[in-house]
Structure 1
Amino acid sequence: MNNAHLHMVVNHFPIIGTFFGIGILITGIFLKNNSIKNTAYVLFIVAAIFGAFSMGTGEGAEEMVEDFPNIGKAIIHEHEELAEKFALVLYVTGVFALISLIATVKKFRLAKIFSFITLVLALISGIMSINVGTSGGEIRHTEIRENNAVSVPGNENTPVEKEYKNLEE
């Protein structure tokens, strides 16, 4: 298993886990069921852990594919920037999920407030994950790119490569 394959194996769970966690947490809050909420908290924690794995494998995957035809460094750079921001929010969500889990198990007075904070953070994570997932998919799936620009190494005339060149300057 190479770095690109490993990255593809782990990078889907932070996104999917976040969305499942949101649905489960909303259900737990609506039903006022702590067991259901605890399940969501554990899912957010696991999603944050997989987010760390995904960030750790991203650099190796980048090195393997950045010079492939139709990819280019600009689109990878955009994905990397979005992923770094998403990972930070995901880590904060995971930490608040852990705090919420402890607060719920220990029956702290603020457990309900922590669950709402975790939900808000998870919703922000979910929104950010859409952009990260799309930008990651665009790396190898040129058909989903908004401008369908093809980035070929040595061809600085495509809109994507022009934008990247401006970023470097």
Structure 2
Amino acid sequence: MDAAHLHLLTNHIPILLTFLSVAMLVWAVISKNSEHYKIAFIGFIIAGLAVIVVFQSGEGAEDIVEEIAGVTHDSIEAHEEAADIAWWLTVILGGGGIAGLFMNRKRVKGFKPFVWVLLVYALLTAGYLAYTGNLGGHIRHTELTTDEQQASAVIPNSRSKEDEERMYFYFEMTKENRFGIGG
């Protein structure tokens, strides 16, 4: 298994786990159940740990995919810059999960305001993780990119004229299907 494979296998874990943990934290606030708080906090901690694996495998994945035809340097850079911020947000969220576990267990005064602040922070982090994941999808999923981004993709000169015509035809056909144009 190479870094690109590991990155693809793990990159959804922090995103999904953060969203699920936000939902669990909302449920904990509604139910006022200490165990539900604990589950949400543990979810944030695991997301914080998982994002470390995702982030570490990202550099190796970049080295592999930047050599693939159709992958643009701009799409990789946009994802990488967002990933730097997402990494910090999620690691801090994991720290918030640790603090929440401690506060919940010790019944520390100020627990409720802490939970509300953590909930807002977790929502922002979840949204930013989703944004970062979306940017990562633009690297290889051309159905997510604009026509201008596709046109700027690097196409090696080793392709024959027939290959280029076939690719142009395919691109035009998918554009027609995507936008409901034509036949």
Instruction: Name the counterpart of 2:66.
Output: 66
Contact residue 76 and residue 139 of structure 1 kept, 8 A: yes
Instruction: Name the counterpart of 2:9.
Output: 9
Q: Which runs of no fewer than 5 residues in structure 2 stay unpaired? A: 158-183
Instruction: Name the counterpart of 1:167.
Output: none
Cα distance per residue 1:135-163 (max 9 Å; x no partner): 111111011114462211579xxxxxxxx
Amino acid at match of 2:20: F
Question: What is the Cα-based RMSD across aligned positions, in Å?
Answer: 1.5
Contact residue 14 and residue 47 of structure 2 kept, 8 A: yes
Task: Say whether residues 1:30 and 2:35 are aligned partners.
Answer: no
Cα distance per residue 1:35-94 (max 9 Å; x no partner): 101100000100010001111100000000012111121100000001111111111111
Distance 1:75 1:69 in 2: 13
Q: TM-score, normalised by structure 2?
A: 0.81
Amino acid at match of 2:115: S
Report the secondary structure of 2:54's partner residue. helix
Distance 1:112 1:97 in 2: 14
Q: Which runs of no fewer than 5 residues in structure 1 stay unpaired? A: 156-169
Instruction: Name the counterpart of 1:152.
Output: 154
Query: Measured at CA, do residues 16 and 148 of structure 1 come closer, stay the same or move farther in structure 2, by a change above 3 Å?
Result: farther
After TM superposition, the runs of 4+ consecutive aligned structure 1 residues lying more than 4 A away are none
Q: TM-score, normalised by structure 1?
A: 0.87
Deviation at 1:103, TM superposition (A): 0.3
Report the secondary structure of 1:149's partner residue. helix
Superposed counterparts of 1:37-116, under 5 Å = 37-116=37-116
- Share of identical aligned residues, percent? 32
- Please say which structure displays the higher CA radius of gyration: 2
**Corresponding pairs, count:** 155
Distance 2:78 2:124 in 1: 19
